Amino acid sequence: MSAALECRGLVAGHGPVPVLRPLDLTVEHGTVLAVLGPNGAGKTTLLNTLAGLLPRLGGEVLVDGKPLPRGRPRAANRAGLILVPDDRALFTTLTVRENLTLARRAGAPTLDEVLDMFPALRERLGVAAGALSGGEQQMLAVARGLVQKPEVLLIDEMSMGLAPVIVEELLPVVRRIVDETGAVVVLVEQHVRLALEVADNAIVLVHGDVTLAGPATGLAADRRRLEAAYLGGVEAGAA
């Protein structure tokens, strides 16, 4: 069976300027990959490139073994690469129900199924997205990703702007997404401990280089190695 997502020699950047050095990455079915690293490391650039919003400068991206065309967001979306961006990009004047209904694709989980993962949203179906709390908006952004029938859900900083207690509640849903929907998740996250709790594997990106890669439990147990990786010590090539 092919991996859910594979990058071979992926080079990403803005205009002609590369931000990521050639990246090899494999995300197997049924797993969460955490992408860690300091500000400016290239994490958002990686997700936007996988989603086709930025044309890649080199290499290949394969979803379930099928290569994706370069820089074609609609093709990436149709192939099941669904981005939950860090600014959430909700329709703020539309209600929760309208945001979900508009995004829903045939054959995707129903609103009811998705709302089982976010019971708090069920109470807020008739409320405009702009009137939700930050945590509720993030739930809606992820729920909207799920109704697009993802093969690979790309979540950029779910915790952005949220209180730690809210993040503690939200992040475990990532595990449920993988276990219950069959999608894999690539999770860019600044909360390293929490990210490693829900992830199977992780990479640390620094200045566009993978400085550490491996099973999340091993990384979580070795803080010194993790800290060294954040400072740029190259230890491994890819997950």
Binding site for ligand ATP (CB under 6 A): 14, 19, 37, 39-45
Residue 38, judged by CB atoms within 10 A of its CB (0-12, 13-18, 19+), counts as middle
Q: Which is nearer to ligand ATP, 39 or 119 (CB)?
A: 39
Residue 84: phi and psi, rounded to 5, are -105, 100
Q: Which is nearer to ligand ATP, 14 or 122 (CB)?
A: 14
Minimum Å gap between C-beta 96 and ligand ATP is 27
Q: Which is nearer to ligand ATP, 44 or 148 (CB)?
A: 44
Minimum Å gap between C-beta 112 and ligand ATP is 34
Minimum Å gap between C-beta 14 and ligand ATP is 3
**Is-contact 42 207, C-beta < 8 A?**
yes
Q: Which is nearer to ligand ATP, 45 or 137 (CB)?
A: 45
Minimum Å gap between C-beta 45 and ligand ATP is 3
Q: Which is nearer to ligand ATP, 58 or 120 (CB)?
A: 58
Minimum Å gap between C-beta 143 and ligand ATP is 23
